[in-house]
Amino acid sequence: MMKKSPAFYLFHSWYGWRVPEYATLTRYAREEHGLFLPEDRNKAKAILLNKKTVFLTVAQAAEYLKDGGSLDINDPDNDALPVYQLIMEHLNNWYTYLTQPSLIVRKVPIEGLREFNKLANDLFPVANRKGYFKKPEITMSMQLASFFEDIKPMVQQHRFNDQLMLMIESAYRKRGGGYVRSV
In the Cβ-directed half-sphere of 71, how many Cα atoms lie within 13 Å?
Answer: 26
Query: Is 157:176 a contact under the CB 8 Å cutoff?
Result: no
Percent of the chain at pLDDT > 70 equals 80
Give the pLDDT score at 32.
Answer: 86
Give the pLDDT score at 183.
Answer: 44
Q: Calculate the alpha carbon distances from 3 to 7, 8, 122 in Å.
A: 12, 10, 27
Cβ contacts of 180 within 8 Å, gap of 6 or more: 97, 98, 105, 106, 107, 108, 172
pTM higher than the cut 0.95: no
Give the pLDDT score at 135.
Answer: 53
Confidence of residue 97 (pLDDT cuts 50, 70, 90): very high
Q: What is the residue extent of each domain of the chain?
A: 6-174
Q: Give CA–CA dist 15/37, Å, rounded.
A: 30
Give the pLDDT score at 57.
Answer: 96
Q: Pairing between strand 14-20 and 72-73?
A: antiparallel
Mean pLDDT of 166-173: 88
Q: What is the average pLDDT score of the chain? A: 81
Question: pLDDT tens across 72-82, in order?
Answer: 888 888 898 89
Confidence of residue 131 (pLDDT cuts 50, 70, 90): low
Q: Give CA–CA dist 170/175, Å, rounded.
A: 9
Rg for the chain (alpha carbons), in Å?
A: 21
Q: Give CA–CA dist 126/124, Å, rounded.
A: 5
Give the pLDDT score at 92.
Answer: 93
Say yes or no to pLDDT of 107 above 50. Answer: yes
Question: pLDDT tens across 11-66, in order?
Answer: 999 999 999 887 787 888 878 887 778 889 898 888 878 889 999 999 999 999 99
Give the pLDDT score at 182.
Answer: 47
